């Protein structure tokens, strides 16, 4: 009887079924009331007492292995059938709808492409930063308002660790690691402790550029800004620079472009001035260069930074910043044609 059980075990190991009907026939052959295994169970009563333990062990193994094999084949068929249901062969051959790039991703890519044509390479850094790279290295005074809790997210129990408030921290890390010439652009998400509204959010996106080399002048900065404005907003775009203040640049300026809606004639969008502010810029302060290990007597450079949301608003006339982070499919579908 043991030899018969071993023969059936070898058969069971090699069982195959290519349809549900074949699987049912196998189940009937081996497990039904008149099948092979129940017949062996009936014959078990005739086994001598001294052999019952050994024969019973083999018989239980046969029953368990047969049931497992039948279940395995059944599961294989169910998986195949569920996979086939993903393809409805009765549907007409309309294409599946494609997704769209997020508008912020579209504009970020366009900005990086423009500066890439000027020789800038992309640099990235951590969003959780230390005080040195976010503030101190960039010439922020100890009592500067940007260090206050109302503007900066601090990590609990770590007053020297913050969520970066600008991507300038990437610039300081690059300047510490490399000597000029440097020509980098730093896109990324930044965080500030502000009330969320249609015109402000606690997180947003920036792109900052840095160029350091010998004899870099404000004229180089102005030429780069004019090139960027005309590539982004059109060949007839004009720019103007207004004096401003930033701790890490001197002299500093804010750049306006001629209104993209009225062409500089004046409209409600530009508050009838004909100009719209888009970014801040300036020559890198010598203290910043020295803090990062670059000799300010030999090298000079310029830096500029802009909010990606701001540029996206100008390009697509999105009036509520919150729409960029709400993942409303109806809003995102409007940008299906964007590259």
Tell me: pLDDT of 294 over 70: yes
Following CA atoms 207, 332, 229, 279 in sequence, which dihedral angle do they give, to the nearest 10 degrees?
-40
Maximum Cα interatomic distance, the chain, rounded to a whole number of Å = 109
Q: Which of 5-9, 170-174, 200-204 has the highest mean pLDDT?
A: 170-174
| Residues in contact with 332: Cβ distance below 8 Å, sequence separation at least 6, in sequence order | 99, 100, 102, 103
| pLDDT in the model for residue 80 | 66
The average pLDDT across 192-202 equals 81
The average pLDDT across 142-156 equals 77
Q: How confident is the model at residue 220 (pLDDT cuts 50, 70, 90)?
A: very high
pLDDT in tens, 313-329: 888 888 788 888 888 88
| pLDDT in the model for residue 250 | 92
| pLDDT in the model for residue 114 | 95
| pLDDT in the model for residue 84 | 54
| pLDDT in the model for residue 150 | 60
Tell me: pLDDT of 288 over 90: yes
Closest CA to 273 of 249, 253, 256: 256
Tell me: pLDDT of 47 over 80: no
Share of the chain above pLDDT 90, in %: 39
Q: How confident is the model at residue 338 (pLDDT cuts 50, 70, 90)?
A: low
pTM of the model: 0.67
Backbone angles phi, psi at 116, to 5 degrees: -60, -35
> What b/e string do you get for 108-131 counting C-beta neighbours within 10 Å, with b at 16 or more?
bebbbebbeeeebeebebeeebbb
The Cα–Cα gap between 24 and 15 comes to 12
The Cα–Cα gap between 165 and 148 comes to 12
| pLDDT in the model for residue 286 | 94
The average pLDDT across 268-283 equals 89
Q: How confident is the model at residue 96 (pLDDT cuts 50, 70, 90)?
A: low
> Burial level of 301, CB count in 10 A (0-12/13-18/19+)?
buried
pLDDT in tens, 223-269: 999 999 999 998 999 999 999 999 999 999 999 999 887 877 888 77
Share of the chain above pLDDT 70, in %: 93
Tell me: pLDDT of 83 over 60: no
| pLDDT in the model for residue 169 | 92
The average pLDDT across 192-217 equals 88
Tell me: pLDDT of 45 over 90: no
Higher-pLDDT residue of 77 and 272 is 272
Tell me: pLDDT of 208 over 80: yes
| pLDDT in the model for residue 82 | 62
Cβ neighbour number for residue 27 with a 10 Å cutoff? 17
Closest CA to 151 of 141, 138, 165: 165
């Amino acid at each position: 009887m043991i030899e018969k059980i071993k023969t059936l075990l070898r058969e069971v190991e090699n069982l195959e079924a290519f349809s549900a009907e074949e699987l049912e026939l196998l189940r009937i052959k081996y497990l039904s009331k008149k099948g092979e295994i129940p017949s062996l169970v009936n014959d078990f009563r005739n086994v001598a007492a001294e052999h019952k333990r050994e024969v019973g062990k083999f018989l239980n193994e046969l029953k368990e292995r047969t049931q497992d094999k039948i279940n395995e084949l059944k599961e294989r068929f169910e998986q195949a059938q569920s996979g086939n249901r993903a393809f409805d062969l009765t549907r007409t051959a309309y294409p599946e709808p494609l997704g769209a790039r997020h508008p912020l991703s579209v504009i970020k890519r366009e900005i990086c492409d423009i500066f890439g044509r000027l020789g800038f390479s992309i640099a990235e850094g951590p969003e959780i930063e230390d005080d040195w790279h976010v503030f101190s290295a960039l010439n922020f005074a100890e009592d500067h308002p940007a260090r206050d809790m109302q503007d900066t997210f601090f990590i609990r129990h770590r007053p020297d660790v913050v969520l970066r408030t600008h991507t300038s921290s990437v610039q300081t890390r690059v300047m510490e690691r490399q000597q000029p010439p440097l020509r980098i652009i730093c896109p990324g998400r930044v965080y500030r402790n502000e009330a969320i509204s249609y015109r402000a959010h606690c997180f947003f996106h920036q792109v900052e550029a840095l160029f350091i080399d010998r004899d870099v002048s404000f004229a180089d900065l102005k030429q780069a800004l004019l090139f960027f404005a005309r590539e982004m907003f059109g060949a007839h775009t004009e720019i103007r620079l207004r004096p401003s203040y930033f701790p890490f640049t001197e002299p500093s300026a804010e750049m306006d472009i001629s209104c993209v809606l009225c062409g500089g004639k004046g409209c409600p969008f530009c508050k009838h001035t004909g100009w719209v502010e888009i970014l801040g810029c300036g020559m890198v302060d010598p203290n910043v260069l020295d803090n990062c290990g670059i000799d300010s007597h030999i090298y000079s450079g310029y830096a500029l930074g802009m909010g990606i949301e701001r540029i996206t608003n100008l390009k697509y006339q999105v009036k509520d910043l919150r729409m960029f982070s709400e993942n409303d499919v109806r809003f995102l579908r409007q940008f299906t044609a964007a590259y």
